[in-house]
Structure 1
Amino acid sequence: MKKNIKRFLSSFHLKLNTVYKKLVCLTLVCSLVPLLLTSSISYYMAYSMSKNRTIDSLRAANRQIAININNRLSQIESLSNSISFYLYHLQKTPLYPLSEYLSAFSQSRNSIGSIKSTFKLLQITVFLPEDCFINPNGNGINFFPLNRLSDYNMTEQELFDAGSRSFWRTNKDLQFPAAFSAIPKSVMTCWNAYRNIYTGSLNYAFACHLRLSEFSELLSSPIDTSDSRSYVIDQDNRILMHSDEKKIGSLLAADQVNLWDETRDSFIVGDTLLVAQPLDNPSMMLITQIPLSYVRQNGNFILTFLLLAICSIIICTVCLSIAASKTFTRRFHTLSQVMESIKASENRDILKLLRPMTSRPACDRDELDQLAGTYETMVLEHDEYFKQILEMSLQTEKLKYQLLQSQINPHFLFNTLNTIVSCQSLGKVELASQTITNLSQFYRHLLHDPDHLIPIREELLVTELYLKLICVSKPNRITWSFETEDGIEHFLICKFIFQPFMENAIIHAIPDSNSSLHIVISIHYDEDTILIRISDNGIGMDKERLADIRQTLQKHQADYDKNYGISNVNVRLTPYFAPGSDTIQLESHPGCGTSFTIHLKQIL
């Protein structure tokens, strides 16, 4: 059996020489193939049954909706005979004597009004020849001359073409006379006209208007889902009635399906299921659509069977995997035992247990054998490098200690404390109290983690505290200004990067005790970076000192003998420099002051 499997795999140029390939092959054979087969059959069964059940439900709902619409349309069309009778009687009444005509006009109008109220029509509009009116504009509500047909989107030619039969027309936002309604109405109108067969002229015409909202209620969702839609279309696929009145008058996008030429009543168009139902009016068809996702969701009862099948397959797979993986567990146990032993002690003789795996030829090794060999090499190299790592750790701790010592300047602290004592002796209690507060706030920020990122706003606050403390003990007039753009103070920056520049300027940029010094820190946006410029109006630097500091910055090393403060900041900012800028830029001229420029990434 094993030879047959190897021969079969070799025909596809496959070799089970890795743990990954063995496990994948086992999983495919034991679970994936039956799982895919069972899932496909179950899904197809669930989808087919749900689709047929949904179509049957939509057909039944469509039939009921069609009956309601047909009954309403037939009812209005049946009223045409009654309305026509009253108008025919009015037409046959002579204009003179005028009293008889007015009586017939009043009787026809009242009878038509009763029909409108009884059958809940929105309006019945009548069009008569102009010579039938005392007022050429009609009564301005429901009786008009024939030349006003255009106000209702109708022409005499269309009425001639229709003959004596009724026909329907949808009008969206039709403007009725202001005496009836000042607000446009969306209506479904049944038109009728009668003409003189001898002269060919129209005797009269009338229109029965129904609210489209009446049909919108009839076309409400036939099934319990908000994604279904029912509507009525004409032969041009234009929507005549819809549950959403905003879509009335739009064209139905039925991709490459002619609903009028199809003999079947259900269609799948894209991701939508359509079910059609012809109406009694041959120019109208009822359509109900529903997304196919609803059909798929209705097959959830089949998913129970699918889950049971999957659970059964998983159980079988686990049992087979446990039985088949015994050949691998021995090596895993050995490797785990070696790791635990080395973790608990310095014994290296236990590495001999890995020799059966590490001594195999490279072509026969799988990932577990390679892992054992890599682990053995790692342990041996670890012992070799341990002393070097320990030495590097001690050096790192020493550097951190020196960094902390350099930040907490005893000379600066003693001067500040002496100044506080002097202020108290001179009675400047308020100045002494403020200086103590500033000193407390400054050292509280100073003693935190120096690698912690803080907002630019907080760094400027600490810098200002430092300058205030310096000014108390310095006889020179020292001023400063911070220039920042809106919102830039929220970006993050390394802690205590401004203080070394302030200290450098105060110590080296003031020529004597009578000179003043002004320091400017400007922070601005520069495309996608932050541009920081620190400048003063001090005595500047000569070429030798300038070149020396620049060389120190280029090395990216903290020099403890000289320029430590600035070089330390340069090293700390290395991960945060903007692309294209890898160090602090320095410009200085004797007698013209000094300027430091820093380009940093925008970090929020």
Structure 2
Amino acid sequence: MQDFIDESVFDRFCPDTIQGDFMKHSKKGSRGPRLYFSHFQNRILCAFLLCTLIPIFIIGGISYAVSYNIAKDKILNASISADAQLHTQFDNRLQQVENIADTLQYNMYNLMQADAPMDTLAMLSEIRSNLSMFKTSFDLAYINIFLPDEHMASSESLYFFPMSKLSDFQIPKEVLENPGTSSVWFYQDLLSVPFLVNNSYHITNSVSCCRVLKHPDTDSIKYAYIIYLDASEFSSILQEIFQDNQITSYILTDNGKIVASNNPSLLSASLDEEKLDFLYNKGDSLKKRAHTNYHTTTLRNGWLQVTEIPDSYIMQNTHILIKSILLTILISLPLTILVVVLISKNLTRRIKTLSRAMETLQLDASDTNMKALVPQDRAPETFDEIDKLGITFEKMQHSLNDNLQSILELSLTEERLKYQLLQSQINPHFLYNILGSIQTCQSLGKLDIANQMLTNLTRFYRMTLRKSEDLISIRDELTIAQLYLEMEKLCHNDNLTWEINMEDGIDNFLICKFTLQPFLENSIMHGLSQKTPEVHISIDLSYGDDTVIIVITDNGIGMAKEQLLELQKTLDEKIVNYEKHFGIGNVNKRISNPYFGNGRISVESCLYEGTSITIEFDQMEKYDEECNDCR
């Protein structure tokens, strides 16, 4: 026992071992970033870099965010200004058409009021001249006038058409249902006008302004006229203003149709209801959806002029800014690192010296040269914190040398007391149970059994007291176990049987004394029941991987799942409970000590099927005990 404890204490306090442990941990830390951060200079370097680079990146990020917002505002403001210019231009064009419609309204009123044929012909001639002038002067695509079928000019088929042909011109139903003196605007795509005089002119898409007048009494149409504008006129203006194809600008009708756009692929396309509701929302004219900014203005005819500016377009215009920020960081980073390295190296030079002195500490050395740590040419009042730390370290070394021997002696005493306490606790526990069994036999009049048990108990204690060592051979431990089983067999009317199986030579190894008895006691006391009146115990000893494995198996009543879990917890946590599982917990605590085999105990049990105890510990020989001092 003393040899094992001496080795333990030596390992704990030997200066060479301290240095070896330090080098071992250093090797473990040499993998990955731990080695790098194990040096104080590297920590200082990282701290300086973080304190320097974080503000640089924060300032760079803030600068970029501010500059990005400024660039975004400028781009959006430029687009808004362009939209305002376009809005004025489009509104003027629409107003121009409205004025033509008002003039035609007056002419049509006079035409419908004329009674005499000559007056009618005169008005028709005047209207025809006006239509030709309007078309030429204001660059209109065409003008159609629809008259009642019985009117004398309805069959002209140049500017005037019969009312029955009104349905051939794709006029929306809602236009006919809401007549009045106000204009109704609608869009017609792929409109074919076969009646044109100049066949080389072909209308594909048109923006139409229509007015329909009905009789107030009969609700029948008196006349109607439509003024056509070529939609490509608006698209050309949009393409001229927004030449960058990343910005999309278009005119949108109230039913989601795109009338004109700077992107030809969008012409006559229809927007989904969700996007249409979003654009026609009465909120701000500048909106954002997903990664696109929208600027909307309402034209005088109720349609929307929409400009889409994606975030990617804004990002492209900030590339120069990003390159400038990155270039600044790349230039400042090497300079910052160089300055930080020089400063950190100067700060940590003396700390490295102190660390090296601590690494090479020898507790049994008489003195340590501290001249490199404490300048000899300086007055004590000028010492800084590192100088004072070196002086304190020197004092600590002297103190360690003075107290090393006393610490070793106290540790030896502590280890002896701990083991003796555990060993002394189990003997009274065992003796109490056996004496109780003897008293029971005497009370029942079984004096011969009681006398035999006393004889066996005498042999048992003669054997255990003769073996005063803490570690005994497995052979002696089996002898003690058989003496105990023979005593128990006398108490249970030959209901107890056992067998011992072992591999050759395994009984020469050492085992912690009094290891098997508590497990055998449990197999007998808790194994016998009405359902299992006879108990057979099997003790098997075999070799493991440099270990000895002892398996104690019984066919007793076994344990319920809750009891098994409780016992396994006691073994895993190495608990010694004086009220529950005291014997097993005591053994588990003792053999788990590295000096007594570094043992492990596991339990498996099933109710009404029996219990199996597995004890595994390191192979120990008497030679080990004798050579402890040599290690």
Q: TM-score, normalising length from structure 1?
A: 0.46
Task: Compare CA radii of gyration and give the structure with the larger one.
Answer: 2
